[in-house]
Amino acid sequence: MILDRIKRLAQKNGQETAFTFLDKGENLELTFGEIFEKASSLAVSLKKNGLRKGERILILSDQSPENIIAVVGSMLAKGVFVMVPPPVDEGKRKRLQSVLKACEPKFCLVSHDLLEKMTERVLTEILGETVCLLNVNKQKDSVAEDIDLTRKQDDLVYIQFTSGSTSEPKGVMVDYGNLMSSLYDSGASIPREQARVGLSWLPFYHNIGLLCIILRNFYNHTHFYIMKPESFLKEPMSWFENCAKYKVQFTAGPNSAFALCANAITDDIARKMDLSRLRYVLNGSEPINYKTLQAFAYKFRLTGLDINCFCPAYGLAEVVCGVTTASGGVKIAEIDFESYKKNKFVPAVEGKHSKTLISQGTLFSNTQVRIVEPSTLTLCKDNEIGEIWITGGSVARGYWNVPREKDSTFHQHLQGDDKEYLRTGDYGIIYKDELYVTGRIKEMLIVNGHNIYPNDIVNDLYHQISALCGCSFAIFQTEIDEKERVIFCIEGQFQDEITYDRLVRQIKSVVQAVYDVSPYDIVFCKPYSFPRTDNGKVKNALVKEIYCNGLLHSLYSSCASVSIAEVETEMDAVEWKIKNIFEFILKIKVKSRNDDFLALGGNSFDSVELVHMLKKEFDVELEFNDVLEHAKVKELSLLIKQKKKHGEVFVRKFNLYEDVVLPDDIQIPEMYEKELSQCQIVFLTGTTGFLGAYLIQSYLEQTNMKLFCHVRAESEEAGLQRICENMRRYELWEDGYEKRIVAIPGDLKSDKLGMSDEWYEKVANEADVILHNGALLHFLYPYSYMAETNVKSTVDCIRLACTGRVKYMGYVSTFSVYDNPSHFHKHVMEDDPLTSSEGYLLPYSETKWVSEKILEKARERGVRTIVFRPGEITGSTATGKWNFGDMVSRSIVASLETGQIPSPFSNLYMTPVDYIADAIVYMMRQDTVWNHAYNLVNQKIMSGDELCRMAKKMGYSIHIVPYEKWRQQLFESKDKDNALKVLENLFEADMEDESCIIRRYSDAEPTFDVSNTMKVLKNSGITCPPLSEELVEKYIRNLVEQGVLSK
């Protein structure tokens, strides 16, 4: 038992220092002998004052030596201690009152300093007449005889009152059996020999502070330096400065603390700090963010600290403290983001939006975990994320004063399993014997059938919007106007209303892009507005309650600040009907003729429903993209009226030639001094995309060039981190790559590509080559929206090419610039002029046409340009990993899932991404390539018959059906998960219409000349691989691994 160890340490190692307190002016030391002696005296005093076995003893935790003595003394006296923070503010006073009511303590133990600070009168008034207040320093009764140390396994040792972010405090009953099991496991995970000296600022009333610091110190016979929490909060770097000063080997903290220190440290501070002795850095208590660990490791790289010393851990008070600890290095899993939103754990593939999960380690030896579907209480399948259920010796006895029959957390059973389990309320999965925790069930958002964890949203916002770093969030759903709404409440320091408007736009942009959801209301609050737990966590449930009751004191609300230019009474009959359709789909009140369907929160699926309902209501034929171009109530009204009046849709016609503008001030300042083969520095955009990752690898492997990588990020460090993460996702990153990469923060939509003046000047004067690969690609977005990024950034890149050192201008376009009637049924040559802008199916193709025409103007002014037109970019030939979401992958998945392939079938020019990247980088080093275009298109086309044959060979039941039948079944489908459902508007034209998509991409589609490409690549060894059965099978298997296609 733990008491035997404490006594033995006092007898054999009594003079050794157990704890050193660093906030007492001169360091105050407490030896093992002193602790046992003073604790024994305290135990005698407690018994003399009437303490009986099992009665509760309150300890007011102020991080003092007396707290240690109070813990051991309570145990020696056979009492049950309850450690809580002192009532120094209103929140902690209410907390103490709820604990007093729940556990009815007989004694309250305080330090001399706390008693002087708060006064005996005040404390007695709070505690009431039934609680005996004792100053630990004054309990000096002599110990006449040995104290009985025998304890039963089921004897209670303490009650840990939790204060979770989603519930009221509950008292977890921990007995000696639970305690010893947990101490054994924590001791085994972090060997004493490598962690003899520790340091902590964590509060003693926190379960990590109590178990991992106080009690583990006795169990493992170590020495701990103790800081006060307020010292850390006042000066975060004092944590690691003390670790260096005292040659600490073990420390612990929550994820947010590491983020604070990463922001606080500078290289100058780091160089003066030696943390090479740190062996174990425990990260627990909060959701762990891998980006935080990476940023911390980078910022502390000069201290000698190794990231492998990090020990991500998962635990909760209901299991005493820990369930898992990852020792010996940080492990991550990259999983498919779309599958993740459906609670599926599917390894990510290159180019696909992924989610990084960090392992919280392997299970402790005395613990078993089951992953359970919470609604059916059945075991999840291997790749399913579910609720974490735990059984084992560390699982506590239950909640204080909560009968077993009313306890929905402890003592739970699975069908066919006699063991009792603890329901944690946390989602997670075990993968390769490692536990990955994804979030809290109660806090999870369910939007459009997808599961979204608020912590994921917060991490993305921190990463992309620097003004939000350090802010606290409460994100939840609540029913408003008969629809579940997503509400963002943000607490922080903000400046003025302009800042709020800008932040609202930025937040909506990030959240909409990643999660396809738009917050209904974004509320900003001043600091310290949110109710919190003792550990500083925001009480989400209470914030939600306050918000719903209209009691949240906000500085700004995006809902309350909506400008209502015109009231409903000013709407005519058509506008009124459109308003009603908006409200029916979005379940939201439309207040103005200027309300925009997308701004109100409409997503891709909502937009499809809008088009269908407008057609039905007004009996008009509407084009999907035209509706998105006119997304306001008054614009849609005008669109429909024009159609009804003239028999055709009034659309905002874009004469694309009007956008083919290169400002006159963009002129080449001098002649080229270098050939392409002599260039040493390339400026590359689109570096965190699918093709971008492979371009970086090709440059680093094929050449000795330095890479200026344009990346959307707040800093150079964050940008390099994004690039590294993206390449790791595709299994491309190699150690040492960072030496030749310079991450340059920017944004393609902004002036000067979003670069600071310093960065812009550096690129302008040092780069030799620009390769503009970045672009916004979306099947549904209108031209005007995408042109802001795609066309503008092309002009800005040309301007950059003509600023400072004159540069070669490489541009990644697309073979879809040929997708208009002027090229149908023809063999198109690479250097043929693109004369017609009429008849494109996709606005994305229009942006690329305009950009190429602008490049022609640049070429006329002397800029040396190289244009690359990739075909349909598919997965790597090496791994088969593919980015699901493009037209080709959606077509294949839809066909295999429905068991039907349409006839005729679209031509599929499946061109592997690694071939495209290698070809581009090689050609960008050849002196004769400029002022030409190059089609990078696979000459081997997959037919419907071939796909059918290969699919059958892999076990799929599939057959060919007429296109009209296949199309009708697509329209009648109500399953939003259908791979092509979201794009069904593209299939509206009949086969008789030459604009029919299936005709455009089969018999009408041009054939593509590749003479220029073949000539340059002739002796390079780079060839486009044939579309073999082996490669297609590799692609299909990868789609299965992503979870988007059944086996």
Report the 3 state secondary structure along 45-64.
HHHHCCCCCCCEEEEECCCC
What does the block give as tokens for 259?
A: 């983020």
What 3-state DSSP class applies to 799?
helix
Q: Are residues 845 and 903 in the same domain?
A: yes
In the structure, what pLDDT confidence band is assigned to residue 750 with cuts at 50, 70 and 90?
confident
- pLDDT of 667 > 90? The answer is yes
What 3-state DSSP class applies to 406?
helix
Please state, in angstroms and rounded to a whole number, the distance separating the CA atoms of residues 920 and 935.
11
- pLDDT of 511 > 70? The answer is yes
Query: Does some domain include residue 91?
Result: no
Contact in structure between 119 and 125 (CB atoms under 8 Å): no
The secondary structure of 465-500 as a DSSP string is -GGGTT-EEEEEEEEETTEEEEEEEEES----HHHH
Please state, in angstroms and rounded to a whole number, the distance separating the CA atoms of residues 924 and 928.
9
Position 211 scores a pLDDT of 86
Instruction: List all residues 6 or more positions away from 505 whose beta carbon is below 8 Å from its beta carbon.
Output: none
Higher pLDDT, 654 or 712: 712
- The pLDDT tens digits of the residues spanning 838-868 come to 888 888 899 999 999 999 999 999 999 999 9
- pLDDT of 604 > 80? The answer is no
Position 356 scores a pLDDT of 85
Position 146 scores a pLDDT of 79
Position 123 scores a pLDDT of 87
C-alpha pair distances (Å), 89 with each of 93, 95, 234: 6, 10, 18
How confident is the model over 728-751, as a mean pLDDT?
90
In the structure, what pLDDT confidence band is assigned to residue 165 with cuts at 50, 70 and 90?
very low
Residue owning tokens 């402890």:
410
Instruction: List all residues 6 or more positions away from 285 whose beta carbon is below 8 Å from its beta carbon.
Output: 206, 208, 254, 255, 315, 535
Q: Are residues 823 and 690 in the same domain?
A: yes
- pLDDT of 475 > 60? The answer is yes
Contact in structure between 352 and 389 (CB atoms under 8 Å): no
- pLDDT of 32 > 80? The answer is yes
Task: Assign residue 509 the CATH number of its domain.
Answer: 3.30.300.30
Of 56-65, 237-246, 378-387, 992-1001, the poorest mean pLDDT is in: 992-1001
Q: In what order do the strands lie in the sheet with 17-21?
A: 28-31, 17-21, 223-226, 197-200, 250-253, 280-283, 310-315, 322-325, 362-363
How confident is the model over 511-540, as a mean pLDDT?
78
Query: Does some domain include residue 355?
Result: no
In the structure, what pLDDT confidence band is assigned to residue 615 with cuts at 50, 70 and 90?
confident
How confident is the model over 319-345, as a mean pLDDT?
82
CA torsion sign, 260 to 266 to 270 to 272?
negative
- Residue ranges making up the domain that contains 957: 676-1042
Position 450 scores a pLDDT of 54
Element (H, E) at 975: none
Instruction: List all residues 6 or more positions away from 831 whose beta carbon is below 8 Å from its beta carbon.
Output: 932, 933, 1012
Of 406-410, 788-792, 910-914, the poorest mean pLDDT is in: 406-410
CA torsion sign, 229 to 232 to 238 to 241?
positive
Q: Are residues 510 and 582 in the same domain?
A: no
Q: Are residues 521 and 640 in the same domain?
A: no
In the structure, what pLDDT confidence band is assigned to residue 650 with cuts at 50, 70 and 90?
very low
Of 14-28, 642-656, 1004-1018, the poorest mean pLDDT is in: 642-656
Higher pLDDT, 13 or 478: 13
Dihedral angle, C-alpha 805, 810, 812, 816, nearest 10 ° = 120
- The pLDDT tens digits of the residues spanning 106-130 come to 999 999 988 888 888 888 888 888 9
Please state, in angstroms and rounded to a whole number, the distance separating the CA atoms of residues 386 and 370.
9
Out of 390-394, 555-559, 939-943, 1027-1031, give the one with best mean pLDDT.
Answer: 390-394
In the structure, what pLDDT confidence band is assigned to residue 720 with cuts at 50, 70 and 90?
very high
Task: Assign residue 766 the CATH number of its domain.
Answer: 3.40.50.720
Query: Does some domain include residue 197?
Result: no
C-alpha pair distances (Å), 49 with each of 45, 82, 84, 130, 138: 6, 18, 22, 13, 14
Q: Are residues 499 and 595 in the same domain?
A: no
In the structure, what pLDDT confidence band is assigned to residue 581 with cuts at 50, 70 and 90?
confident
Query: Does some domain include residue 638?
Result: yes
In the structure, what pLDDT confidence band is assigned to residue 248 with cuts at 50, 70 and 90?
very high
Q: What rounded mean pLDDT belongs to the chain?
A: 84
CA torsion sign, 100 to 101 to 102 to 104?
positive
Contact in structure between 804 and 774 (CB atoms under 8 Å): no
Of 916-920, 961-965, 1035-1039, the poorest mean pLDDT is in: 1035-1039
- pLDDT of 537 > 50? The answer is yes
How confident is the model over 798-826, as a mean pLDDT?
93
Of 445-449, 477-481, 762-766, 821-825, the poorest mean pLDDT is in: 445-449
In the structure, what pLDDT confidence band is assigned to residue 206 with cuts at 50, 70 and 90?
confident
How confident is the model over 299-306, as a mean pLDDT?
88
Q: Are residues 727 and 759 in the same domain?
A: yes
Give 924-971 as a 3 state SS string. CCCCCCCCEEEEECCCCCECHHHHHHHHHHCCCCCEEEEHHHHHHHHH
In the structure, what pLDDT confidence band is assigned to residue 885 with cuts at 50, 70 and 90?
low
What does the block give as tokens for 657?
A: 């030639």
How confident is the model over 487-503, as a mean pLDDT?
77
- pLDDT of 562 > 60? The answer is no
Element (H, E) at 174: strand 170-175
How confident is the model over 884-888, as a mean pLDDT?
71
Position 995 scores a pLDDT of 65
Of 670-674, 719-723, 896-900, 936-940, the poorest mean pLDDT is in: 896-900
How confident is the model over 1035-1043, as a mean pLDDT?
74
Give 443-463 as a 3 state SS string. CCEEECCEEECHHHHHHHHHH
Position 691 scores a pLDDT of 93
Task: Assign residue 597 the CATH number of its domain.
Answer: 1.10.1200.10
Q: Are residues 844 and 899 in the same domain?
A: yes
Category of 141 on φ-ψ map: left (φ > 0), alpha (ψ -120 to 50) or beta: beta
Q: What is the domain count for the chain?
A: 3
Please state, in angstroms and rounded to a whole number, the distance separating the CA atoms of residues 696 and 101.
63
3-state SS of the chain: helix, strand, coil percent to 5? 40, 20, 40
Residue where a domain stops, chosen among 513, 535, 557:
557
Peptide bond into 843 cis (omega under 30): no
Query: Does some domain include residue 704?
Result: yes
Position 516 scores a pLDDT of 64
Supply the DSSP symbol for 212: I
Position 683 scores a pLDDT of 97
How confident is the model over 808-828, as a mean pLDDT?
91
Q: Are residues 498 and 607 in the same domain?
A: no
- pLDDT of 448 > 60? The answer is no
Pairing of strands 197-200, 250-253: parallel
In the structure, what pLDDT confidence band is assigned to residue 711 with cuts at 50, 70 and 90?
very high
Position 781 scores a pLDDT of 67
Position 766 scores a pLDDT of 95
Supply the DSSP symbol for 213: I
- pLDDT of 53 > 50? The answer is yes
Higher pLDDT, 813 or 949: 813
| CB atoms inside a 10 Å sphere around CB 975 | 9
Query: Does some domain include residue 317?
Result: no
How confident is the model over 786-796, as a mean pLDDT?
92
Query: Does some domain include residue 391?
Result: no
- pLDDT of 285 > 80? The answer is no
Residue where a domain stops, chosen among 557, 590, 624:
557
What does the block give as tokens for 661?
A: 């503008």
The secondary structure of 839-861 as a DSSP string is --S-HHHHHHHHHHHHHHHHHHT
Pairing of strands 483-491, 472-480: antiparallel
In the structure, what pLDDT confidence band is assigned to residue 326 with cuts at 50, 70 and 90?
confident
- pLDDT of 565 > 50? The answer is no
Q: Are residues 620 and 682 in the same domain?
A: no
How confident is the model over 358-372, as a mean pLDDT?
86
Of 71-85, 153-167, 812-826, the poorest mean pLDDT is in: 153-167
Q: Are residues 735 and 786 in the same domain?
A: yes
- pLDDT of 550 > 70? The answer is yes
Query: Does some domain include residue 636?
Result: yes
Q: Are residues 680 and 774 in the same domain?
A: yes
Higher pLDDT, 233 or 683: 683
Which CB contacts under 8 angstroms, 24+ apart, belong to 632-637?
Answer: 632/593, 632/594, 632/595, 632/596, 632/597, 633/571, 633/575, 633/578, 633/579, 633/582, 633/590, 633/592, 633/593, 633/594, 633/595, 634/575, 634/593, 634/594, 636/578, 637/572, 637/574, 637/575, 637/578, 637/593
How confident is the model over 579-595, as a mean pLDDT?
78
Position 566 scores a pLDDT of 34
Please state, in angstroms and rounded to a whole number, the distance separating the CA atoms of residues 859 and 846.
20
What does the block give as tokens for 166?
A: 């989603």
In the structure, what pLDDT confidence band is assigned to residue 760 with cuts at 50, 70 and 90?
very high
Residue where a domain stops, chosen among 557, 583, 610:
557
How confident is the model over 222-244, as a mean pLDDT?
89
Position 549 scores a pLDDT of 76
Contact in structure between 27 and 21 (CB atoms under 8 Å): yes
Please state, in angstroms and rounded to a whole number, the distance separating the CA atoms of residues 126 and 649.
74
Q: Are residues 573 and 550 in the same domain?
A: no
How confident is the model over 190-207, as a mean pLDDT?
84
How confident is the model over 997-1014, as a mean pLDDT?
83
Residue owning tokens 């994804």:
438
- pLDDT of 315 > 50? The answer is yes
